[in-house]
């Protein structure tokens, strides 16, 4: 048979068990890692949606050496590699993900403040970074206090809220591209509204230098409180979700358009268009990716038909159908 394990496994769950094709030797990789490796791990345990089929191998990478070992292994075996980050803006299909799925832990969570600058690992929690900046009376990240996820995931999507977005405070990025460590100025990251050139899988973000502005402690705390209050009042935070499902079309609100089409409360399986904020889909228990994808299609079609607007996904959809 020709091609990589991944290319050959068009029905990945049957081939290994028929004895025709061995699974990649994940145990060999595991032995080389400081962090952990779990095989056949349900990604529903690692996504904020609580949805997603199994990853062939989920790696908890703690060091740069762990990451390099994963890249080498993926290359040798012809496997795809994907960084899951905190799994917060993500819909993993029900068939799960082949190859290596990584979470950046350990060293990748570092935060080093130096005056108005902070060098922060891609695996750092964005809300925690925002809080730490506030404690140091540094302004510029107040908008991020309620955004679930990691800095790296946030940078890939150019996460934003309350009029702010990460691209405004990032100055430099440390990346791993084609097997090489690189540093690049933020201008080379290709930031757009909820996107960057890293969204298409061109390289991995490892760390970022952010530049903040010294400000008044009380004012910063008040802005953060306002952002959290607004979010708590308007978003369905008590149920598993993946944030806003669609991008806001230019000059409009996706949530308002969806509400005006009468789609709040629309249900498929365990997934529902939130009655609180129509641009959220919530998992009310046992929702499958196919339920969510079905709802997304209905929403897209209705908004196109009734409003003439084509909604684009904000949530990243990955993995294989079952």
- Distance of closest approach, residue 144 Cβ to ligand EPU, in angstroms: 10
Residue 292 is encoded by which pair of tokens? Answer: 């969510």
Q: Which of residues 148-177 bind ligand EPU (CB under 6 A)?
A: 161-162
Rounded CA gap, 280 and 276, in Å? 8
Beta bridge partners of 268: 271
Rounded CA gap, 265 and 263, in Å? 6
- 247 near ligand EPU (CB under 6 A): yes
Rounded CA gap, 220 and 131, in Å? 10
Rounded CA gap, 96 and 51, in Å? 10
- 244 near ligand EPU (CB under 6 A): yes
Interaction pattern, residues 303-322, with ligand EPU; x per rule: CB under 6 A: -----------x--------
Please list, in sequence order, all residues whose beta carbon lies within 8 angstroms of the beta carbon of residue 5, skipping any fewer than 6 positions away. 21, 23, 24, 77, 78, 79
**Stretch binding ligand EPU (CB under 6 A), from 45-53, 98-106, 207-215, 249-257:** 249-257
- Distance of closest approach, residue 248 Cβ to ligand EPU, in angstroms: 4
- Distance of closest approach, residue 161 Cβ to ligand EPU, in angstroms: 4
Phi, psi of 13 (to 5 degrees): -85, -15
Q: How many residues of this chain bind ligand EPU (CB under 6 A)?
A: 16
Which of 44, 77, 130, 279 is in the footprint of ligand EPU by CB under 6 A? 279
- 234 near ligand EPU (CB under 6 A): yes
Which of 243, 268, 295, 299 is in the footprint of ligand EPU by CB under 6 A? 243
List Cα–Cα distances, 101 to 49, 196, 265, in angstroms. 17, 20, 33
Residues that bind ligand EPU in the complex, under the rule CB under 6 A? 161-162, 234, 243-244, 247-248, 253-256, 259, 277-279, 314
């Amino acid at each position: 048979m020709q091609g990589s394990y991944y290319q050959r496994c068009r029905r990945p769950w049957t081939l290994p068990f028929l004895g025709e094709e061995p699974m990649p030797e994940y145990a060999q990789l595991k032995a080389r890692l400081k962090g952990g490796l779990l095989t056949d791990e349900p990604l529903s345990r690692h996504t904020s949606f609580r949805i997603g089929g199994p990853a062939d191998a989920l790696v908890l990478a703690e060091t740069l050496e762990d990451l390099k070992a994963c890249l080498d292994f993926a290359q040798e075996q012809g496997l795809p590699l994907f960084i899951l980050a905190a799994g917060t803006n993500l819909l993993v299909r029900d068939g799960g993900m082949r190859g290596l799925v990584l979470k950046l832990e350990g060293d990748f969570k570092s935060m080093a403040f130096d005056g108005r600058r902070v060098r922060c690992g891609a695996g750092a929690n964005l809300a925690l970074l925002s809080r730490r900046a506030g404690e140091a009376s540094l302004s510029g990240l107040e908008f991020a206090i309620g955004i679930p996820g990691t800095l790296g995931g946030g940078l890939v999507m150019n996460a934003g809220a309350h009029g702010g977005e990460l691209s405004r405070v990032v100055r430099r990025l440390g990346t791993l591209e084609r097997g090489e460590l690189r540093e690049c100025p933020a201008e080379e990251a290709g930031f757009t509204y909820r996107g960057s050139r890293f969204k298409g899988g061109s390289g991995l973000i490892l760390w970022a230098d952010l530049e903040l502005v010294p400000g008044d402690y009380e004012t910063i705390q008040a802005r953060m409180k306002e952002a959290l209050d607004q979010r708590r009042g308007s978003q369905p935070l008590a149920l598993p979700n993946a944030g806003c499902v669609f991008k806001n079309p230019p000059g409009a609100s996706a949530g308002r358009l969806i509400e005006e089409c009468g789609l709040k409360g629309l249900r498929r399986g365990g997934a529902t268009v939130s009655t609180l904020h129509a641009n959220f889909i919530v998992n009310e228990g046992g929702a499958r990716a196919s339920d969510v994808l079905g709802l997304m299609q209905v929403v897209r079609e209705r908004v196109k038909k009734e409003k003439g607007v084509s909604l684009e996904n904000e949530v990243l959809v990955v993995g294989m159908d079952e």
